[in-house]
């Protein structure tokens, strides 16, 4: 029997020193078989492109000069990482990410509380709040761009808005509009994730605290927030990852990332699609991928975000 244990398949290493029953082994095998199609699909649609992008990033490869294709090792990464353009764009991307995600968290929390507490018309309230998230980003971005258009924007006809204010003609103004569009668009998503977290907070705790004389504010900060921490961190993680890869809003509101609004994704697009420089462009894509992994690791390891906690499986 001992020999049988050591022969356990490498694919399923025994985590605990418990012997596996034949039934458990059979079930595990079945599980792998059943998962296989999904795993293969994932490998084809995500694993292969990533591996191919990495392979491309090690070459000098411009579609317009196919004859000059050669293996250059990590030279493309050196080019990108030593250029001020890349670091400027990382800075811009981080500014957009940090501001939009923080504002979204606060607004999203307020909206989630409203949705949670709505007594009548719960369905319509939730549906209304979700509308911005249901609109195609490009369409929404066009709406914002036209709203702030220097010649025809309606915003400048509104009271309290100075006529001479032309946000889309300066870097700061453009970032403001881009962040505004981003917040408007994705706050509902944040609110939805937070609403799920709110639903996890048991009413009994609130009632008990109420009996003990805790004020509403105290109950929010002492009961709701700590219990919602897993949900908040997951929401922040998702939104940060999304915001870091911001593309559509900038692409429409300041075409080409003009006026210093270029994000890392726009840079990647310019190099890959406009300059058809596959080597350099793939290096940028891989670097963005690494940044995204770093953000995820930071959240999961550093802040203890866990999707298992979120599902209540601790």
49 makes contact with another protein (CB under 8 A) = no
Site for another protein in 87-116 (CB under 8 A): none
Q: Which two tokens stand for residue 148?
A: 């702030």
Minimum CB distance to another protein, residue 79 (Å): 5
Tell me if 270 contacts another protein by CB under 8 A.
Answer: yes
Point out which span in 107-115, 128-136, 228-236, 268-276 binds another protein (CB under 8 A).
Answer: 268-276
43 binds another protein (CB under 8 A): no
Alpha helix locations (H) across the chain? 2-6, 22-42, 48-57, 75-81, 84-117, 122-134, 137-147, 171-200, 203-211, 216-219, 225-244, 248-253, 264-269, 278-297, 307-310
Sign of CA dihedral 163, 169, 172, 178: positive
Piece in contact with another protein (CB under 8 A), picked from 63-71, 178-186, 207-215, 244-252 = 63-71
Q: Is 199 in the site for another protein (CB under 8 A)?
A: no
Q: Report if residue 294 touches another protein, rule: CB under 8 A.
A: no
Q: How far is C-alpha 224 from the chain's CA centre?
A: 24
Selected binder of another protein within 2, 64, 203, 204 (CB under 8 A): 64
Among 46, 102, 274, 307, binds another protein (CB under 8 A): 274
Minimum distance from CB of 17 to another protein (Å)?
A: 26
Which of 250, 195, 230, 239 has its CA nearest to residue 100? Answer: 239
Give the residue, chosen from 42, 50, 208, 303, that forms a contact with another protein under the rule CB under 8 A.
42
Closer residue to another protein in complex, CB, 102/274: 274
62 contributes a contact to another protein by CB under 8 A? yes
Stretch that binds another protein, among 199-207, 220-228, 237-245, 271-279 (CB under 8 A): 271-279
CA atoms of 232 and 180, how far apart (whole Å): 21
d(CA 202, CA 179): 35
Q: How far is the CB of 166 from another protein (least distance, A)?
A: 6
Nearer CB in complex with another protein: 11/45: 45
Nearer to another protein, 31 or 106 (CB): 31
In 10 A of CB 121, how many CB atoms?
A: 10
Instruction: Judge contact between 61 and 278, C-beta under 8 A.
Output: yes
Per-residue tokens: 40: 């293969």
The sign one gets for the Cα dihedral 184, 190, 192, 195 is: negative
Look at residues 264, 256, 251, 250 and name the one whose alpha carbon lies nearest to residue 85.
Answer: 264
- 2: CB partners within 8 A, 6+ apart: none
> How many Cα atoms occupy the beta-carbon half-sphere of 95 within 13 Å?
18
Residue 266 makes contact with another protein by CB under 8 A: no
Q: Which segment (42-50, 124-132, 195-203, 295-303) binds another protein by CB under 8 A? A: 42-50
Q: Rule CB under 8 A: which of 146-185 touch another protein?
A: 149-152, 166, 168-171
Q: Examine residue 53 and tell whether it contacts another protein (CB under 8 A).
A: no
Binding site for another protein (CB under 8 A): 31, 34-42, 44-45, 60, 62-66, 79-80, 83, 85-86, 149-152, 166, 168-171, 254-256, 258-259, 267, 270-271, 273-277, 279-280, 284
């Amino acid at each position: 029997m001992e020999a049988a244990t050591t022969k356990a398949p490498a694919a399923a290493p025994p985590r605990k020193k418990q012997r596996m029953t034949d039934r458990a082994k059979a079930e595990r095998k079945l599980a792998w078989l059943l998962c296989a199609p999904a795993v293969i699909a994932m490998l084809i649609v995500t694993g292969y492109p990533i591996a191919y992008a990495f392979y491309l990033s090690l070459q000098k490869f411009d579609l317009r000069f196919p004859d000059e294709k050669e293996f250059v090792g990590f030279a493309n990464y050196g080019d990108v990482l030593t250029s001020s353009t890349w670091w400027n764009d990382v800075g811009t991307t981080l500014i957009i990410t940090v501001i939009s995600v923080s504002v979204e968290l606060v607004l999203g929390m307020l909206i989630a509380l409203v949705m949670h507490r709505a007594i009548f018309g719960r369905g319509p309230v939730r549906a209304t709040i979700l509308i911005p998230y249901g609109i195609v980003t490009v369409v929404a971005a066009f709406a914002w761009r036209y709203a702030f258009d220097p010649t025809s924007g309606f915003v400048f006809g509104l009271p309290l808005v100075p006529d001479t204010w032309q946000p889309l003609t300066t870097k700061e103004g453009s970032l403001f509009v881009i962040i505004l569009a981003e917040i408007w668009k994705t706050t509902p998503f944040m609110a939805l994730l937070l609403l799920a977290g709110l639903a996890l907070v048991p009413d009994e705790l609130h009632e008990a605290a109420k009996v003990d004389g805790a004020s509403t504010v105290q109950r929010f900060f002492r009961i709701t927030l700590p219990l919602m921490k897993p949900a908040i961190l997951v929401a922040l993680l998702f939104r940060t990852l999304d915001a870091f890869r911001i593309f559509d809003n900038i692409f429409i509101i300041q075409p080409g990332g003009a006026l210093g609004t270029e994000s890392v994704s726009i840079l990647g697009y310019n190099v890959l699609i406009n300059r058809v420089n596959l080597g350099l462009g793939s290096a940028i894509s891989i670097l963005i991928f690494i940044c995204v992994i770093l953000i995820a690791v930071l959240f999961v390891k550093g802040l203890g975000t866990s999707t298992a906690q979120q599902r209540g499986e601790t």
